[in-house]
Structure 1
Amino acid sequence: MTEQSLLATLSGVRLHIFHPDSQSVRAFCASLTQLGCHAQHSWPPAASLSTDTQLLVVAIDMHQQPLLTALFISARERDIPIIALADSHNARLFPLLLQLQPNAIAARELNPFALIVQMIGTLKTVRHQQRLRAVQQARQARSERLAQAKSVLMQTFGLDESGAYRLMRSEAMNTRSSMEYTAERVITTLQK
């Protein structure tokens, strides 16, 4: 993969950075804007997010634990990936990080290059997981429709499960259609 194709991953991404204000955070937001991101910055963390937020980068601060917990719950409900920025030398943060379960963890000291790499990796991983979930859901829906069609055939014609399956497979082959299409036809035609 080229640098341009990796950076294209960030193009148009709407992200929110919850981090105490500093010159380095403002400079990082400006850099992200130049890369085509729509970056917002605020502190302290807030549970209410913009409806179009696609990624969160959150500084972990023990003093903000209730707000962080609410933010992480809200983001998880909306399937928004989170990169936690934590001080790796502060062992007291580990239990909080385990509780919050971010998608990724990076150093709290902003290293723009490292954080951009982490953002790209996190977005690619989350998008891949979302595609896998969609495929699994489609398979599950297909399986449920096939089972429903077999049940309709079993009730209508007194067949057993294997007989209903053979009948659907034969019909699909004879009409040169998919099993899914055949199952839908069985369900809509015979189920009343």
Structure 2
Amino acid sequence: MHDLIRDLRDQNVLLIHPRDRSADELLQQVNRIGCSFDHMWPVPHALPDKFDMVFVDVTDQSASKLKSFFDKREKRATIITIIGYENPSVLDIILEIGAHAVLTKPVRAAGVLSSMLMARRFQSEQERFSKDLTKLREKLENVQKVNDAKFILMRHRGITEREAYHLIRKQAMAKRTTTTEIAQSIINAESILSNMGDS
């Protein structure tokens, strides 16, 4: 738990909200936690890179502005939305901008720290799942390339699938590269030969 709170203190926090009682309560609590923070209103055109976490006021009127505001940024910030009421359009905005937590008005100091912790954890898990998914997709693509190369060799050389894989592996070891690289070379060569036949 202490590590999570220490991590929060390293966060640069931005509050996008009209300056009112809720904003003041929130900024006081963020200050108590020890984060560096800033306040902006209305919604700026772009989110400066220095901010890691954003508390943002969400209303029916802010929908299109918020979507483009968060879409413009390459590095994802932790997003905590602040809402005064729940209706389908507000909930749609929350989902569209990919919020990691929600605070309701009037903002109370008691819920701020837990929302920040949950939002950070949710975001880090999202990022981990995204990386794992990317790795899995790459692995599947590589398996597919090797399978395609095996079938090309089987067709051209009249050999079994096992023999085709053995050939690919042998070439990879001889050239000190991966079976995927060799498979891609075989696929490229097949494509070139097919195109030459068409001309």
Verify same fold: TM over 0.5: yes
1:145 to 138, 142, 153: 142
Q: Does 1:114 align with 2:96?
A: no
Hey, what does 2:132 align to over in structure 1? 135
Name structure 1 gaps, 5 residues minimum: none
In the TM superposition, residue 27 of structure 1 has moved relative to its aligned partner by 2.1
Within 5 Å, give how 1:34-113 maps onto structure 2: 34=34, 37-62=35-60, 65=61, 67-76=62-71, 78=73, 79-87=76-84, 90=85, 93-100=86-93, 101=95, 102-113=99-110
Q: TM-score, normalised by structure 1?
A: 0.71
Hey, what does 1:31 align to over in structure 2? 32
AA partner of residue 91 (structure 2): L
In the TM superposition, residue 190 of structure 1 has moved relative to its aligned partner by 7.3
What count of residue pairs does the alignment treat as equivalent? 174
- The percent identity for this pair of structures is 14
Q: Is the 8 A contact 2:11 2:36 kept in 1?
A: yes
Q: Is the 8 A contact 2:100 2:122 kept in 1?
A: no
1:10-42 alpha-carbon deviations (Å, 9 max, x no partner): 13223311122244344234224x2xx332211
Residues in 1 aligned to 2:167 and 2:118: alpha-carbon distance in whole angstroms: 43
Q: Which stretch shows the higher mean deviation, 15-24 or 134-143?
A: 15-24
Residues in 2 aligned to 1:147 and 1:84: alpha-carbon distance in whole angstroms: 42
Residues in 2 aligned to 1:50 and 1:120: alpha-carbon distance in whole angstroms: 22
In the TM superposition, residue 104 of structure 1 has moved relative to its aligned partner by 2.3
Residues in 2 aligned to 1:50 and 1:144: alpha-carbon distance in whole angstroms: 36
Name structure 2 gaps, 5 residues minimum: 190-199
Q: TM-score, normalised by structure 2?
A: 0.69
Q: Is the 8 A contact 1:25 1:110 kept in 2?
A: yes
